[in-house]
Structure 1
Amino acid sequence: MYQAAAISELAPSLAYLLPDTRYFEMDSKRAGTRFSAWITPPANYDEDQTKAYPVVYQVDGNLFFPATAPFHQALPRDGISPIRPFILVSISYAAQESQDWQWLRVRDLVPPGEPVPEAMYQALEYSEQAGLVTAEKAERYRAMFAAPAADKFLAFIEEELHPALAGIFRIDEAEAGLWGDSYGGLFAVYAAINRSKLFKRIGAGSPGIIDGSQIFCAYREAVASRNDYSGRRLHVTLASLELTQPTIYQSIVARGTAALLAETTLRPLPGLQVSTEIIPLETHLTAGVPAWFSFLRACYGMVPAA
């Protein structure tokens, strides 16, 4: 009788899947917490030691890094829609907080003064009642919801993380990019409207823009300032089912995003190039990865080789 071979369970390192990815952690004085960053250079990065590359920062790395990084180095070789080589930086939470990223992100991605929908408080309450979050942590997260600090997180990226990485990797800052989805999309819009000191190519997937959002105040102030946004681009995506299905996402994502896009048409910021795409047949949850590739095609796409 055939006897099956023994199977062994191991704990392989990241190098088994992503041999060129490097992992860093950093304490932020601006944000008052510790973050991690996964950095994946383009293929053949080491062949020419004089060549610099654009850098694209991706927030919510705990969710999106595992889903997007495996494709990263192959993107320039896509025969249908190739992407320019770039350095991918996925920002995440360090080990001790990585399990709580879905709550911590509210603190870091939501602009100051932005109202947090009641649905977020209800989700936290449910998690507490189900024993998924301790009472002590739930109280901490409620305090975060009441005082979001996207300004501190943006300062961490621009003033602390980026200078550190620029000392390690060959970075061309001329077309530095930022992408986020959901609250990450809200953060991206916030950075775009406030004329980020670093980012010129910004992608916002399904941004959580609600009624009374600070985004609209910031946009009106930006229009009044008459600042020049030339050379900057904002790419916004929405999932089709966020628009068409009668769910909460119609009010907390689709309606606010449509209102923002209307503002960019009626009262455009001087020089800002705005593009949009509807992601077909996807939900708020499943549109994130397609939105990432939509952003890359819009802002870093190349003409396919003949």
Structure 2
Amino acid sequence: MTLSRTEQRIIHSRAENREYRIFVARPDVEPPPSGYPVIYLLDANSVFGTMAEAIRLQSRRPEKTGVVPAVIVGIGYDTEGPFSNARYYDFTMPVPSAELPQSPRGTEWPELGGADAFLNFIEEDLKPEIEREFNIDRSRQTIFGHSLGGLFVLHALFTRPETFQTYVAGSPSIHWGKRILLEEERQFASRLEKEHCSVGVLLAVGESEKDHHSHMNDNAKELAERLSVLASLGVRVRFHEFEGEGHVSVLPVLISRALRFASEGSPQLEVRS
């Protein structure tokens, strides 16, 4: 089955010549005067279909659902599996080996530490291509990542908060290089004292993840509490723990919640009928 109004293409990063399979879902309505909102979705091989169908159904009546039409841009890899080991490089910061978690299989981790290069690819290669094809509202850009993808979302928020306006970090792997991420967070907070910023941050986990040795739920909740202190500086943060859900099963309900969070405050909710 082919999903309605979707397509795929291969794009290479100019700086490193890394290959990505890009999935795109087109709205079935004309763009508003300001352009379409856009959601950049990591690990697209595993969740693009879920998000594309969720927004196709829910954006039909935005005044009822709280979800407006948007372009979905999924960033994946040229594989038929749900994940590729290439994500370990793209989603992680350089971390000393002594600070890395132990591999569950007892083997060495794949190549790591390419988060900044990956963010450059999104900004310098992918976004311009999407914006040549669609009328995009650059003031309504969202990035969605889960697990290591959630870690990357937080890295992007803390180091280049101007790249998106909404950041969705599901079950973020904060325990990967936690010391480095905490330092990035500290510098982000200091920057807000000097520069205006207006961002929305959704942190979410599955209830069943609370027993994981990584302390994923506690790490995410504590981060949300720290970020909530920055509300007066332009940070809108929300934390949610989904009852009865685990690390993978949380994805469909998180996607639905993320679509509403990204649509909050949209003028389209007021003019559509």
TM-score by length of 2: 0.86
Whether contact under 8 Å (2:95, 2:177) holds in the other structure is no
Question: For residues 124 and 174 of structure 1, do their structure 2 counterparts lie closer, same or farther at Cα, with a shift above 3 Å needed?
Answer: farther
**Secondary structure, in 3 states, of the residue corresponding to 2:234?**
coil
| Cα distance per residue 1:242-299 (max 9 Å; x no partner) | 22xx333xx2412321332232145668211111222111001110121121111122
Question: For residues 267 and 298 of structure 1, do their structure 2 counterparts lie closer, same or farther at Cα, with a shift above 3 Å needed?
Answer: closer
Aligned residues: 264
1:60 is matched with which residue? 43
1:209 is matched with which residue? 174
Q: Distance in 1 between matches of 2:173 and 2:234?
A: 25
Question: For residues 31 and 117 of structure 1, do their structure 2 counterparts lie closer, same or farther at Cα, with a shift above 3 Å needed?
Answer: farther
Aligned residue type for 2:189: V
Aligned residue type for 1:180: G
Aligned residue type for 2:95: G
**Secondary structure, in 3 states, of the residue corresponding to 2:136?**
coil
2:101 is matched with which residue? 117
Whether contact under 8 Å (1:176, 1:199) holds in the other structure is yes
Question: For residues 159 and 218 of structure 1, do their structure 2 counterparts lie closer, same or farther at Cα, with a shift above 3 Å needed?
Answer: same
Q: Distance in 2 between matches of 1:259 and 1:50?
A: 39
Question: Cα distance, 1:40 vs. partner?
Answer: 0.6
Whether contact under 8 Å (1:56, 1:89) holds in the other structure is yes
Q: Distance in 2 between matches of 1:24 and 1:197?
A: 27
| Cα distance per residue 1:182-209 (max 9 Å; x no partner) | 1111111111122334211111111111
Q: Flag structure 2 segments of 5+ consecutive residues without an equivalent.
A: none
Question: For residues 92 and 212 of structure 1, do their structure 2 counterparts lie closer, same or farther at Cα, with a shift above 3 Å needed?
Answer: closer
Instruction: Map residues 249-264 of structure 1 onto 2, 5 A cutoff.
Output: 251-264=214-227
Q: Distance in 1 between matches of 2:238 and 2:205?
A: 12
Instruction: Map residues 40-189 of structure 1 onto 2, 5 A cutoff.
Output: 40-45=25-30, 52-78=35-61, 80-95=64-79, 98-99=80-81, 101-113=83-95, 115-118=99-102, 121-123=103-105, 125=107, 142-144=109-111, 147-189=112-154
- Give the one of 263, 269, 272 matched to 1:300: 263
Question: Cα distance, 1:150 vs. partner?
Answer: 0.9
Question: For residues 293 and 28 of structure 1, do their structure 2 counterparts lie closer, same or farther at Cα, with a shift above 3 Å needed?
Answer: same
Identity value in percent: 23
Question: Cα distance, 1:100 vs. partner?
Answer: 8.1
Question: For residues 267 and 73 of structure 1, do their structure 2 counterparts lie closer, same or farther at Cα, with a shift above 3 Å needed?
Answer: closer
2:188 is matched with which residue? 222
Aligned residue type for 1:290: V
- Greater strand fraction, Structure 1 or Structure 2: 2
| Cα distance per residue 1:211-242 (max 9 Å; x no partner) | 75121110111222324353211111111122
Whether contact under 8 Å (1:177, 1:200) holds in the other structure is yes
User: 1:22 and 2:4 equivalent?
Assistant: no
**Secondary structure, in 3 states, of the residue corresponding to 1:122?**
coil
Whether contact under 8 Å (2:92, 2:115) holds in the other structure is yes
1:291 is matched with which residue? 254
Aligned residue type for 1:299: A
Q: Distance in 1 between matches of 2:172 and 2:75?
A: 18
Q: Distance in 2 between matches of 1:156 and 1:275?
A: 28
Question: For residues 182 and 49 of structure 1, do their structure 2 counterparts lie closer, same or farther at Cα, with a shift above 3 Å needed?
Answer: closer
Question: For residues 252 and 33 of structure 1, do their structure 2 counterparts lie closer, same or farther at Cα, with a shift above 3 Å needed?
Answer: farther
Q: 4+ residue runs of structure 1 moved beyond 6 angstroms?
A: 48-51
Q: Distance in 2 between matches of 1:156 and 1:195?
A: 14
1:37 is matched with which residue? 22
